[in-house]
């Protein structure tokens, strides 16, 4: 009798696995925990901000909002928030990587100081750990964590990495997408942390704000770098251009978001050409012996570059009209 019961339980267990769902009944409480597909969580970390800067920007573009301090679901932002539009755009072009339902923001002081970024990094770690446990309780599995950072938000994420691992006995997939980060020696080596599963570093030669934050480290003064001094194979560094022109800091913050999914897919495919409506030119560039950087140039005649006078349009991601000279038109393939 005991032998038959064990066999019956075994077949029922296998049946649940085939259906893609395992129901575990707790003997004491009688509650059920459902194991579902692993969610993909995305967290956006903004860069340096000031009260004056945000107040000035709000006069031209009230849709700019980075959320309250800490980690919050993007649904808590105002309906008109630009980050909501960005999240929807990312999901539209790469639904396997991005999911609006699991998209969050991390707000921090935005102060231009090492200490502020250290504090924010510790807070990010603590809140990510709490978020992981909440997902485990709700979905029965830990989610994949993907952090998109802009400017010094990248150094906040790297400070967070200094506190890894999240869990002592279980690994968590952690991906960093670092855009326009001023690479500083203080946090540079943290990009090689063993708990970071994959990282993408995206910069451009025209981004002057990225490299002007003069800082002191070990009694010497340095300007930030655009890329990390690393040979780690899971760190993909990409120098982006659009219409054979480098992008500025403001360009990378919003207008570039349209192209981010394609650049990431390109990196994942080991720089193999993929179908794309814009013409791309790829080259491998050697940056000395310290690191390898890939150049990605995309042709997009509707891309609007920041030029001081068009700040509201660029911040809102408003593209140029399509009526441009035939020489620069995007070629679309007609379906037969």
The domain limits of the chain are: 38-328
Tell me how far apart the alpha carbons of residues 270 and 290 are, in angstroms, rounded to a whole number. Answer: 20
Token output for 326: 């035939």
| For the chain, the helix, strand and coil percentages under 3-state DSSP, each to the nearest 5 | 35, 25, 45
Per residue in 171-182, pLDDT (tens digit) is: 999 999 999 999
Tell me how far apart the alpha carbons of residues 297 and 282 are, in angstroms, rounded to a whole number. Answer: 7
If you average pLDDT over each of 7-16, 42-51, 238-247, 273-282, which comes out highest? 238-247
Per residue in 33-84, pLDDT (tens digit) is: 455 688 999 999 999 987 666 666 666 666 677 778 999 999 998 888 889 9
**Residue 161 exposed, middle or buried by CB count within 10 Å (0-12, 13-18, 19+):** buried
Tell me how far apart the alpha carbons of residues 53 and 295 are, in angstroms, rounded to a whole number. Answer: 32
Kindly give, in sequence order, each residue whose CB lies less than 8 Å from that of residue 109, ignoring residues fewer than 6 positions away.
69, 116, 119, 120
Question: Can you name the residues that pair with 215 across neighbouring β-strands?
Answer: 222
Tell me how far apart the alpha carbons of residues 167 and 156 are, in angstroms, rounded to a whole number. Answer: 20
Which class is domain 38-328?
Answer: alpha beta
Per residue in 82-136, pLDDT (tens digit) is: 899 999 999 999 999 999 999 999 999 999 999 999 999 999 999 999 999 999 9
Average the pLDDT over 250-255 and give the result: 92
What 3-state class would DSSP assign to 136? helix
Which of 37-41, 123-127, 275-279, 295-299 is predicted with the least confidence, judged by mean pLDDT? Answer: 275-279
Distance of CA 88 to the CA centre of its chain: 14
For position 51, what pLDDT does the model report?
67
pLDDT band at 294 (very low <50, low <70, confident <90, very high): confident
Average the pLDDT over 219-231 and give the result: 93
Token output for 301: 């005649």
For position 27, what pLDDT does the model report?
33
What 3-state class would DSSP assign to 11? helix
């Amino acid at each position: 009798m005991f032998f038959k019961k064990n066999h019956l339980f075994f077949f029922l267990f296998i049946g649940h696995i085939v259906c893609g769902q395992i129901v575990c009944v707790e003997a004491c409480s009688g509650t059920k925990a459902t194991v579902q597909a692993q969610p993909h969580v995305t967290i956006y970390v903004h860069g340096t901000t000031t009260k004056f800067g945000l107040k000035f920007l709000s006069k031209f573009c009230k849709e700019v909002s980075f959320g309250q301090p800490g980690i919050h679901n993007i649904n808590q932002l105002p309906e008109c928030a630009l980050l909501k539009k960005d999240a929807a755009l990312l999901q539209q072009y790469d639904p396997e990587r991005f999911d609006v339902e699991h998209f969050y923001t991390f707000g921090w002081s935005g102060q231009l100081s090492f200490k502020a970024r250290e504090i924010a990094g510790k807070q990010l770690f603590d809140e990510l750990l709490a978020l992981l446990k909440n997902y485990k309780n709700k979905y029965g599995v830990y989610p994949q964590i993907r952090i998109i950072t802009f400017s010094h938000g990248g150094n906040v994420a790297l400070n967070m990495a200094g506190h890894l691992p999240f869990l002592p006995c279980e690994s968590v997939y952690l991906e960093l997408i670092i855009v326009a980060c001023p690479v500083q020696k203080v946090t540079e080596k943290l990009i090689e942390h063993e708990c970071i599963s994959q990282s993408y570093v995206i910069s451009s030669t025209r981004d002057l704000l990225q490299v002007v934050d003069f800082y002191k480290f070990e009694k010497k003064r340095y300007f930030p770098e655009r890329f990390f001094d690393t040979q780690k194979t899971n760190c993909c560094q990409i120098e982006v251009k659009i219409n054979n022109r480098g992008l500025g800091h403001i360009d990378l913050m919003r207008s570039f978001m349209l192209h981010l999914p394609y650049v990431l897919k390109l990196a994942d495919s080991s720089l193999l050409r993929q179908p794309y409506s814009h013409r791309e030119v790829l080259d491998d560039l050697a940056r000395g012996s310290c690191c390898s950087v890939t150049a990605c140039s995309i042709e997009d005649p509707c891309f609007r570059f920041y030029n001081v006078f068009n700040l509201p349009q660029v911040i809102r991601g408003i593209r140029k009209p399509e009526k441009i000279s035939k020489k620069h038109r995007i070629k679309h393939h007609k379906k037969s």
